[in-house]
Amino acid sequence: MSYKAEDKPLTVKAVKALLPVVLPHKWRNDPALLLAVKKGWIFPGKIVEDQLIEMSAGLLKANTNLYRSEDFNDYSDAKFISVSSWDRMYRATLDWEGLKNKKGVLRVVVYERKQNRLYYFYIPRRAYRSMRTVKIPFDLNTGDPKDSNKWWAYEVDSFKELARIKKEDWINVR
């Protein structure tokens, strides 16, 4: 997974929103960690990827096959995206470059800056296979979720659930 830091202040805000969700209490206020966040040395995408493995209770393991592009051994991929405004729309977008070589589930964490909130999505391949983009809409003024398209059906309740959900669970529940 990669996460570019074109917008360093946004990256720092996103990391600060992630820390309480993914790290134990003793590490959240570690001075060295906070300095690394402020300097922009820690990227949210890498935190998401590492902590999904950590919180999965052994279900996820890092992909060690150099010929595969997925983050995890079950062919799933971690994504961290921020909501942004474009052409009077406020949405989180995964574009074709982020989707084209994927073969499994997307485990997506979305950061919404107006409410400083995180949203979690478990999107199976069958849902995005024929799509060129995944667009998750939010209200332009308030930042509230707009449950107006199919992607909101794939929202899960917590980061821990996102880490521990398996393909079989999703097929049986949804």
CB proximity list for 101: less than 8 A, separation 6 or greater? 69
Tokens, residue 37: 């966040």
pLDDT digits (tens, 9 = 90+) for 109-147: 999 999 999 999 999 988 888 888 899 999 998 999 988
Residue 50 confidence (pLDDT): 83
- Residue 9: name the closest of 109, 95, 91, 116 by CA: 116
CA geometry: angle at 99 spanning 93 and 105, to 5°?
100
pTM for this entry: 0.83
Q: Two tokens at 113?
A: 């800056």
Q: What pLDDT shows up at residue 26? A: 75
Tokens 């930042």 correspond to 143
- Stretches where the chain sits below pLDDT 70 are 1-8, 168-174
pLDDT (0 to 100) of residue 173: 46
pLDDT, position 85: 86
**pLDDT the model gives residue 168:** 62
Mention every residue, 6+ apart, whose C-beta is less than 8 A from residue 105. 74, 75, 76, 77, 122, 123, 124, 125, 167, 170
Say what the pLDDT of residue 120 is: 94
The domains located in the chain, with CATH, are: 8-173 (3.40.1350)
Question: What's the pLDDT at 122?
Answer: 93
Cα separations in angstroms, 17 against 52, 59, 113: 16, 25, 9
Confidence at residue 174, expressed as pLDDT on a 0 to 100 scale: 46
The pLDDT score that the predictor gives to residue 87 is 79
pLDDT of residue 165: 85
H or E, element range at 81:
strand 77-82
Residue percentage of the chain with pLDDT more than 90: 20
- Output Rg (C-alpha) for the chain, integer angstroms: 16
